[in-house]
Amino acid sequence: MKKNIILMGPPGAGKGTLAKQLKDALHLVHISTGDMFRDAIKAQTELGKLAQSYIDHGDLVPDEVTIGLVKERLSQKDCEAGFLLDGFPRTLPQAEALSEIAKSISREIDVVVNLDCDVDELVRRISGRRVCKNCGAPYHVITMKPKVEGVCDLCGGPLYQRKDDNEDALKVRLTHYEEETKPLLDYYQKLGLLASFNSLVGKENLFDEVSSFLKK
């Protein structure tokens, strides 16, 4: 089984939803840098204060900050069981740093799962996305409605729209993806680690395809 995994794909491709399904099914640690930053913003830590303006505008948090955060998290004992990196790396310096970190703690990357999705669908998904403030569970105003409007099915927490899920921030996020993150697909292809999946097949089919691939 492949257990040290990077999930890649543009914003809205379904990385977070898939990561939550895989984490439960395969007992892996889910490491989402976006969630870590949002938690830090909620707690108003120094990290949160620094990250907030970058995130609100759709910009990337500086590499040295993000790399330090991931290095610390990956070194923790629970990651021995295997981990899913969701939203990291997003730049070439992050990918290079990750290779070094993974080597130094003997937790090398087994595979990079890339989710393909066309831009119209990304915009549709992101503009209708709602997230639980408590547990982070994802919803959509049309395709993934909660049982009670505005309330999380899982924990009863309130649903909200992320500040960076607006049209302006999304444009910036997609540009960062095209210019800084997409080139990493080549980087991982050359290392023989890349496996791509079409995320338009629906979340249950995607989960079945990816989880059976990871179990091989």
Structure tokens at 69: 């955060």
**Which of 4, 33, 114, 199 touches ligand AMP (CB under 6 A)?**
33
| 162 assigned to active site | yes
Distance CA 142, CA 155 (A): 20
Give SS3 for 129. Answer: strand
Q: Does 165 bind ligand AMP (CB under 6 A)?
A: no
Could you tell me the smallest distance in angstroms from the CB atom of residue 40 to ligand AMP? Answer: 10
* DSSP at 150: T
**Which of 11, 14, 82, 136 touches ligand AMP (CB under 6 A)?**
11
CA 84 to chain CA centroid, nearest Å:
9
**For ligand AMP, which is the closer residue by CB, 20 or 173?**
173
Structure tokens at 192: 């023989």
Q: Does 130 bind ligand AMP (CB under 6 A)?
A: no
Distance CA 209, CA 216 (A): 11
Q: Which residues contact 38 (CB under 8 A, 6 or more apart)?
A: 55, 136
Structure tokens at 91: 């730049």
Give the count of residues interacting with ligand AMP (CB under 6 A). 18
Give SS3 for 76. Answer: coil
What x-and-dash track marks residues 55-94 binding ligand AMP by CB under 6 A?
x--xxxx----x--------------------xxxx---x
| 173 assigned to active site | yes
Residue of 124, 162, 182, 203 marked catalytic: 162
From the list 71, 85, 75, the residue with the least C-alpha distance to 113 is 85
**For ligand AMP, which is the closer residue by CB, 32 or 197?**
32
| 15 assigned to active site | yes
| 124 assigned to active site | no
Could you tell me the smallest distance in angstroms from the CB atom of residue 207 to ligand AMP? Answer: 19
| 130 assigned to active site | no
Residue 28: left if φ>0, alpha if ψ -120 to 50, beta else—which one?
beta
**For ligand AMP, which is the closer residue by CB, 75 or 149?**
75
* Binding site residues, ligand AMP, CB under 6 A: 11, 33-34, 37, 54-55, 58-61, 66, 87-90, 94, 164, 173
Report, as residue numbers or ranges, the catalytic residues: 15, 90, 129, 162, 173
